[in-house]
Structure 1
């Protein structure tokens, strides 16, 4: 079996580089069969705005109890040309509870449509190898392109992009290479219901970005609605039937209260209630969702809103919600799993869930749960309310170490008693969860940029910082870059000349009247001054910088003309 070489796929977070032009790429949707073999079901050639390969790592975030793992390798004329790992969740995330209920229960639900996407620049590979569970599969990408019209999902219509909701200037906000790109697709909307979809999309955007910390960092997100027309409105509602094991009925007694029980409709993405025989589990056909997402190929995360008034939804490779007024809380909670990587903090048992430990025994626990009880070693100790007892007795106000989390009532701890959205719907995110969202934005690992979002827009530096800047003695030269600011909060700016602080302005004008020193170093340092991240837990994530090397000459012709 050919060894798969693993390489970094994205642009470094602090690179000083020219803007990357859109690049043609393969967009391939693979569905997994009953033998866990990947079958190509959709192919299109697309333009990636940032030119970077995107092999979807669709593990559904924290709380998924099993994944199918693949290694992929691109080959160009027989030579290795990049590769990586893909993880596809076997199960959906189902937070069981009826509309208006805050208590949650995690239920096991198999995803009936496991699928994944590979987006690979044409120049990077002409052949693809996939290895999963000791199986090697090889795909000729040229042949896939030639037979694209014969693939099973060739007729799936791409999501038609509506006006995006973005913050900041249009130029900066369009920078997919330095943003979290969220694509919201609609299902169960007929061609005549595009306005209804737009209304639902706006409502979800408002609900989500009114919540901290999504609110503070809305400017870091490109929110792109994508319309897909269905033949009929709504979703399927299989009727109740005790002992049912097929998709035509629902064994969950809760289906007896479904006002639309027995309704079956034809929709573009096959959204249906009672997925995996749990009535409130509303989900779509993953392969079709990924095929429709080709309309915005630079997506990092996908959400699906379904034009159906009954409360329901679920999480997995993407999150799904209905048009019920309370359903946005499902997506807000699920995004805490799928993007931020948070764990559930409630204690309702979920037998067989993989263990974690911060004591070095098993894989480490998620950022908001721990089994560590030594106060000096608890990872969120910087957030402890002064003087609070550790572990923290029930009924104590403040942020500490409360027993019960991750489906266990003992042996696992959470930061607050019951004041967190990862514990109960209707609450807010606690300080530890808010912090982790911010750190994830800057740390990366969610797509492109691979190394995290940069406060200094890559490629915007003037003059370019990648090469030495030739400067004519006695002239003035302006240095700067476009900056990305949080929607709420401030950034700090500091310029250093040869290591000495010289200015706190957005741009800096350099002037030197003498021929020496002949080489100078100029640095711009930008820091997010957010209170959502404790300094002790920030590391170097909140500070980004650019450095220019200035070479001084005594002839004005030495200046290369950038003033």
Structure 2
């Protein structure tokens, strides 16, 4: 019997209308091509906009009957199996590209017709007819429980577990709580914790733990090996001969994630105390206390699209250049000129560029050589950031990149951008309202609130009547009509902006402004007592 638990940390999330979607898990290898692993029918919010495309040489584009792209998947992070663990001088890395790609297509039911697969190491673009691959297959209906797309306007981070027995739901919750608590100890997640919906999907295993297949493995002695256990997602250490590389079956993970189908990010918790973890399409970590550091770092990759800042060689990894292109990630560069440095506003004039990696400059932002798998020619913002040393704080450049990404990334299946005004929270609910001369109309919205103040402005008929900063969720305004507004429609608007302290003041104007507008009909005063006389 499956036990399903969904932890929703933000009770004020709003309910959205859900439509039937095809939820398809695909596998691709160079030798076998594309195959359909599973097909399910789920309910998800209808798309609010066209999908965003990104500059990538590795992608999937899903098209409808008209040749329009209805889902775009950047495969860059899905191709890499990341083995990043605590090291002596910096992160110990043994990452590599996977032979098999596994990805999820979520599209309105029956609309996906063709899939275009483009890989930089393949000479041609691959075309596949989805309708032919799914012909005759009856989609399993699933995901109709409480988890079903009920929370939106959040980064939906889904916790799944492997190696937990049916009576270990409390253990799973404790492990998830520990990860959440540790995540909130890092900026920028401390400030933006309310922007993340921490969802939980508990699915029991027949046996506890993970496989420990052999010893020694990669030069490490494993006292539990050989040990093989029957778990739901086949968790195993010693993947590719690397003892600490703990992985699960991604096809099974993505298939069962359909029970909470509106996920944006997934982290798999493995109920085994041996240190280990991995990254890539999603993070996998063990119950060892230090393994949570792996997830914090991997989330920097998967969500914020940060580059590694250590210099261990990674032959064949795609190059970047802020001089000749393609552009580098936000936290690395090959530019050495102060004036052209993309984070120069964080660098004090007293800090030399490039910056010596010495104790004198260990606490400043500058330009430190050694990043993105190169010891020379690539640079990072600080001496020691989380993208170089597990457990270290994120540098100002990485923190700012997260905030910018929060407002750029479409969430779940709906292709909707996050909104600082909670959708559906406006009162009056309709954008049309009316008020009688002499009365007061109260208008309000709920905000998606970080730990710092947001900036609010209320306008009436195009003129600013109130402007302030506040950290309260509910913001309201009393509209009092004037005589010259009688028998007219007055526009009342509230705008909200995040002047985040984690974003440099020169970049803050680039953050989006969110607004809600009401059209208010102002009616003449009517004395309701005398309107029809005393007899009536």
Deviates more, 1:202-211 or 1:311-320: 202-211
SS in 1 for 2:199: strand
Shift of 1:429: 0.7
Larger RCO (CA under 8 A, 6+ residues apart): 1
In structure 2, the partner of 1:139 is 130
CA contact (8 A) 2:49 2:414 kept: no
In structure 2, the partner of 1:284 is 248
Structure 1 CA distance, aligned partners of 2:134 and 2:369?
Answer: 56
Shift of 1:349: 1.9
State the TM-score, normalized to the length of structure 2.
0.84
Is the counterpart of residue 202 in structure 1 residue 177 in structure 2? yes
CA change 1:400–1:449 in 2 (3 A) is: farther
In structure 2, the partner of 1:561 is none
Structure 1 CA distance, aligned partners of 2:197 and 2:136?
Answer: 29
Aligned pair partner of 1:116 in 97, 103, 120: 103
**Deviation digits for residues 192-239 of structure 1, max 9, x if unmatched?**
322221221111111112211111111001001211111111111221
Shift of 1:182: 0.5
Aligned pair partner of 2:46 in 34, 51, 68: 51
In structure 2, the partner of 1:392 is 355
Structure 1 CA distance, aligned partners of 2:515 and 2:144?
Answer: 37
Query: After the TM superposition, which residues 351-362 of structure 1 pair with which residues of structure 2 at under 5 Å, given as runs?
Result: 351-359=315-323, 361-362=324-325
Aligned pair partner of 2:511 in 531, 541, 551: 541
**What RMSD, in angstroms, separates the aligned Cα atoms of the two structures?**
3.2
In structure 2, the partner of 1:15 is none
CA contact (8 A) 1:55 1:120 kept: no
In structure 2, the partner of 1:41 is 37
Shift of 1:276: 2.3
Structure 1 CA distance, aligned partners of 2:315 and 2:165?
Answer: 41
Is the counterpart of residue 456 in structure 1 residue 417 in structure 2? no
CA contact (8 A) 1:177 1:449 kept: no
SS in 2 for 1:196: helix
Structure 2 CA distance, aligned partners of 1:58 and 1:193?
Answer: 41
In structure 2, the partner of 1:560 is none
SS in 1 for 2:113: strand
Corresponding pairs, count: 496
In structure 2, the partner of 1:95 is 84
SS in 1 for 2:256: helix
CA change 1:374–1:551 in 2 (3 A) is: farther
Structure 2 CA distance, aligned partners of 1:364 and 1:507?
Answer: 43
Structure 2 CA distance, aligned partners of 1:502 and 1:253?
Answer: 69
Shift of 1:299: 0.5
Aligned pair partner of 1:218 in 193, 215, 228: 193
Structure 2 CA distance, aligned partners of 1:188 and 1:91?
Answer: 24
Deviates more, 1:511-520 or 1:368-377: 511-520
Structure 2 CA distance, aligned partners of 1:117 and 1:53?
Answer: 19
CA change 1:545–1:158 in 2 (3 A) is: closer
State the TM-score, normalized to the length of structure 1.
0.80
Aligned pair partner of 2:113 in 128, 131, 142: 128
SS in 1 for 2:20: strand
CA change 1:145–1:194 in 2 (3 A) is: farther
CA contact (8 A) 1:442 1:451 kept: no
CA change 1:81–1:378 in 2 (3 A) is: closer
In structure 1, the partner of 2:8 is none
In structure 1, the partner of 2:62 is 72
CA change 1:37–1:471 in 2 (3 A) is: farther
Structure 2 CA distance, aligned partners of 1:431 and 1:550?
Answer: 44
Structure 2 CA distance, aligned partners of 1:298 and 1:325?
Answer: 29
CA contact (8 A) 1:321 1:328 kept: yes
In structure 1, the partner of 2:477 is 508
SS in 1 for 2:516: strand
Deviates more, 1:467-476 or 1:180-189: 467-476
CA contact (8 A) 2:499 2:508 kept: no
Shift of 1:519: 4.2
Aligned pair partner of 1:21 in 17, 28, 52: 17
Shift of 1:404: 1.5
Is the counterpart of residue 429 in structure 1 residue 394 in structure 2? yes
CA change 1:91–1:319 in 2 (3 A) is: same
CA contact (8 A) 1:32 1:115 kept: yes
Aligned pair partner of 2:367 in 395, 398, 401: 401
Query: After the TM superposition, which residues 341-380 of structure 1 pair with which residues of structure 2 at under 5 Å, given as runs?
Result: 341-359=305-323, 361-380=324-343
Aligned pair partner of 1:187 in 162, 171, 174: 162
CA contact (8 A) 1:519 1:550 kept: yes
SS in 2 for 1:443: coil
CA change 1:462–1:540 in 2 (3 A) is: farther
CA change 1:496–1:56 in 2 (3 A) is: closer
Shift of 1:462: 2.4
Is the counterpart of residue 31 in structure 1 residue 21 in structure 2? no
CA change 1:326–1:159 in 2 (3 A) is: farther
Structure 1 CA distance, aligned partners of 2:292 and 2:493?
Answer: 43
CA change 1:330–1:102 in 2 (3 A) is: farther
In structure 2, the partner of 1:233 is 208
Query: After the TM superposition, which residues 160-171 of structure 1 pair with which residues of structure 2 at under 5 Å, given as runs?
Result: none
Shift of 1:51: 2.7
Structure 1 CA distance, aligned partners of 2:111 and 2:208?
Answer: 41
SS in 2 for 1:47: strand
Query: After the TM superposition, which residues 267-282 of structure 1 pair with which residues of structure 2 at under 5 Å, given as runs?
Result: 267-282=231-246
SS in 2 for 1:330: helix
Aligned pair partner of 1:335 in 258, 277, 299: 299
CA contact (8 A) 1:56 1:116 kept: no
Shift of 1:58: 13
In structure 2, the partner of 1:527 is 497
